[in-house]
């Protein structure tokens, strides 16, 4: 083969390999993402400015109503309460998840017999399908035959026959337990990896300098974990604000819509009341809250992921 | 660091035999504290394991108890006899059909999603895709979006295409959240493969695509397997799309089928728990199989669903 006979073919091939092939490889994925995520979100935005009910499902027609769906979402006392409840419940779940995750990570970072087994055991709640976890916990929170009431009564508390799901506060507590139970393993394992990446001599140096265990945690370990911690807080926020399955299975939003969070309210307005316009407005509110958090998340991990 | 001997070796300082030196006293106090610390650690570990595992254990125990030992005000902690027959009954009462539906949907989604994501993941890791930075941001951000935001338009489209109560509709909608997830995981794995092996193939006359297909993909095998398992789990667990798009009980996948089984069986907690065990088991097995890879780039990969 001579150089002259090869070069035209090769240069075409090179151009294909460097310019065209990457685009070809990425296109199917981008078409899927655009069609299944990008378009629906724009369409939800469009629908949120429209009066779209049952009629629009059959005829495809809907009327422009401006911001009235948003006005309804923010003025209706129930929906306003839903937004507030979602924020408070989400934040408390994040606090619970982070606290428990951190405690578990610090524990798993200490040497003790059977540590590998404990680490595996901690992963199990994360592995469980959310619907199954909520079903099992609902059984454990059963008023008459549940394990939780029996245990609390044995501890001397008056929980005999206590009904967890007839008023919002205890119901949210029970749902929160399931959410935290399923979320803390991810936080624990990620923080454990973070802890193990801190060089021992840094901690040893602090110990030799006379720092107490608490001071070492507060002034050495925590600052070094800060990047991971921030990412995990943001991720937990995203996950805990869009909780749907656990609430749907445990209370369905009831009794009397008192345990609805934004995702449940959206689903209900859209698919039970068939008010797609209002449902879309609620979905966009949720999207707006999560978009802000997502931007923070992306900023945090940008450098690490070389974006 | 390792060469410095600890300052408290007994050999260096012979105990004078009389009273205990302050150093020794401090040592003893310290070892006492270490013991307390060790006991506290183990107590914490026991508490942690109980909290994590007990609900799963209780699910299993309830599923094999005789009926008379389930609805008791003081829970029977260990069954007097093992009632395995409930598993067969549950399979006949809806689990079997839903399992077939779930397997059809999850396996199709996994296969399609991984092929699409492997190509894109490779391109993002190794080539100069135009607007790469922006596209990657899109991939990352879309993993975070709540399904609720997409569900209303997807529902109306599925309805007009006649894809409601149809597994095809589920497959298509599941690709929306599994593709970005798989791209992100796979991109990480492809970046970990040395460029040299690929360059060697080019030198040998392979085209870029051939090098990718025959050299890089086989080397990324473990990564592809891991991504496939994550996609499988995400699709296996998905509830909201399945709840909205499929009303016909014969087409339900497992999460929704469990929910309707709970509605039908009402107080048959043994059956409900047996159903839950069967639903949970494959995922737990996959998870334990994967556990060593769980933290590899996962904080960024956002693998939870």
Inter-chain residue contact A47 with B152, CB threshold 8 Å: yes
B239 vs A contacts (CB less than 8 Å): 130-131, 244-245, 248
Nearest C-alpha of chain B: how many angstroms from A99?
Answer: 13
pLDDT in tens, A141-154: 999 899 999 999 99
Among A29, A30, A17, A37, CA closest to B115? A29
Among A106, A285, A251, CA closest to A167? A251
Inter-chain residue contact B144 with A190, CB threshold 8 Å: no
CA end-to-end span of chain B: 44
Inter-chain residue contact A29 with B259, CB threshold 8 Å: no
Confirm if B165 and B244 have CB atoms less than 8 A apart.
Answer: no
Mean pLDDT check: name the lowest of A33-37, B14-18, B71-75, B84-88. Answer: B14-18
- The average confidence (pLDDT) of chain A is 88
Confirm if B281 and B165 have CB atoms less than 8 A apart.
Answer: no
Inter-chain residue contact B51 with A181, CB threshold 8 Å: yes
pLDDT in tens, B212-267: 998 888 888 888 988 898 899 999 999 999 999 999 999 999 999 999 999 998 88
Nearest C-alpha of chain B: how many angstroms from A225?
Answer: 13
pLDDT band at A1 (very low <50, low <70, confident <90, very high): very low
CA distance A281 to A67: 9
pLDDT at site A260: 93
Which of B148, B294, B300 shows the shortest C-beta gap to A263? B148
Contacts with A96 (C-beta within 8 Å, 6 or more apart), sequence order:
A176, A179, A180, A184
Inter-chain residue contact B58 with A147, CB threshold 8 Å: yes
A276 vs B contacts (CB less than 8 Å): 152, 156
Say yes or no to pLDDT of B167 above 50: yes
Task: Sort A31 into a burial class: Cβ within 10 Å, 0-12 / 13-18 / 19+.
Answer: exposed
Helices (H), chain A: 3-15, 21-33, 39-47, 54-59, 68-75, 77-108, 115-127, 130-140, 147-154, 168-196, 200-208, 213-216, 222-241, 245-250, 262-271, 276-301
pLDDT at site A299: 84
pTM: 0.86
Report, as an integer, the average pLDDT of B276-304. 70
Comparing alpha-carbon positions, the chain A residue that sits nearest to B170 is A36
Mean pLDDT check: name the lowest of A48-52, A213-217, B6-10. Answer: B6-10
Of A151 and B22, the one with more pLDDT = A151
Contacts with B167 (C-beta within 8 Å, 6 or more apart), sequence order:
B101, B104, B105, B246, B251
CA distance A178 to A250: 10
Inter-chain residue contact A139 with B236, CB threshold 8 Å: no
């Amino acid at each position: 083969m001579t150089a002259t006979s090869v070069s035209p073919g090769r240069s075409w091939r090179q151009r294909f390999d460097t310019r065209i092939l990457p685009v070809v490889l990425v296109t199917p994925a981008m078409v899927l993402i655009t069609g299944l995520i990008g378009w629906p979100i724009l369409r939800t935005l469009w629908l949120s400015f429209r009066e779209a009910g049952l009629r629009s499902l059959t005829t495809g027609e809907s009327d422009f109503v401006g911001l009235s769906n948003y006005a309804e979402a923010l003025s209706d006392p129930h929906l306003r309460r839903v937004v507030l409840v979602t924020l408070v419940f989400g934040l408390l779940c994040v606090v619970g998840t982070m606290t428990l995750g951190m405690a578990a990570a610090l524990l798993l970072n200490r040497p003790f017999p059977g540590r590998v087994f404990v680490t595996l055991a901690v992963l199990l709640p994360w592995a469980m399908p959310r619907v199954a976890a909520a079903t099992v916990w609902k059984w454990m929170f059963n008023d008459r035959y549940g394990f939780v009431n029996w245990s609390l009564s044995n501890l001397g508390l008056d929980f005999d026959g206590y009904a967890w799901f007839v008023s919002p506060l205890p119901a949210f507590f029970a749902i929160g337990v399931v959410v935290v139970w399923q979320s803390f393993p991810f936080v624990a394992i990620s923080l454990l990896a973070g802890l193990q990446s801190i060089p021992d001599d840094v901690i040893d140096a602090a110990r030799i300098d006379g720092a107490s265990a608490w001071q070492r945690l507060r002034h050495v370990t925590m600052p070094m974990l800060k990047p991971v911690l921030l990412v995990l807080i943001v991720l937990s926020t995203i996950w805990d604000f869009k909780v749907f399955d656990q609430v749907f299975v445990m209370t369905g939003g009831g009794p009397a819509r008192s345990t609805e969070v934004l995702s449940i309210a959206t689903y209900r307005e859209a698919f039970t009341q068939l008010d797609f316009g209002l449902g879309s407005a609620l979905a966009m509110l949720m999207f707006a809250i999560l978009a802000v958090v997502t931007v923070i998340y992306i900023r945090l991990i940008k450098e690490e992921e070389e974006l | 660091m390792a060469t410095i001997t600890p300052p408290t070796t007994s050999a260096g300082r012979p105990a004078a035999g009389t009273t205990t030196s302050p150093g020794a006293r401090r040592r003893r106090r310290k070892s006492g504290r270490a013991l307390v610390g060790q006991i506290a650690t183990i107590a914490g570990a026991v508490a942690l394991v109980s909290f994590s595992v007990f609900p799963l254990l209780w699910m299993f125990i309830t599923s094999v108890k005789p009926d008379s030992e389930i609805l008791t005000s003081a829970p029977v902690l260990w069954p007097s006899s093992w009632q395995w027959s409930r598993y067969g009954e549950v399979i006949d009462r809806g689990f079997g059909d839903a399992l077939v539906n779930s397997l059809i949907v999850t396996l199709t989604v996994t296969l399609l999603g991984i092929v699409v994501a492997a190509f894109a993941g490779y391109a993002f890791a190794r080539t100069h895709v135009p607007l790469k930075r922006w596209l990657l941001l899109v991939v990352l951000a879309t993993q975070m979006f709540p399904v609720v935001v997409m569900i209303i338009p997807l529902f109306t489209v599925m309805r007009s295409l006649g894809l409601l109560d149809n597994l095809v509709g589920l497959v298509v909608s599941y690709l929306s959240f599994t593709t970005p997830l798989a791209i992100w995981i796979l991109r990480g794995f492809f970046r970990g493969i040395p460029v040299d092996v690929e360059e060697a193939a080019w030198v040998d006359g392979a085209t870029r695509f051939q090098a990718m297909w025959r050299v890089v993909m086989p080397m990324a095998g473990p990564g592809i397997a891991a991504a496939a398992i994550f996609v499988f789990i995400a699709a296996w667990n998905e509830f909201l799309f399945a709840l909205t798009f499929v009303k016909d009980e014969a087409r339900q996948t497992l999460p929704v089928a469990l929910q309707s089984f709970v509605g039908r069986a009402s107080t048959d907690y043994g059956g409900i728990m047996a159903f839950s065990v069967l639903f949970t088991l494959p995922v737990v097995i996959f998870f334990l199989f994967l556990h060593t890879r769980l933290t590899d780039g996962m904080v960024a990969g956002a693998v939870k669903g």
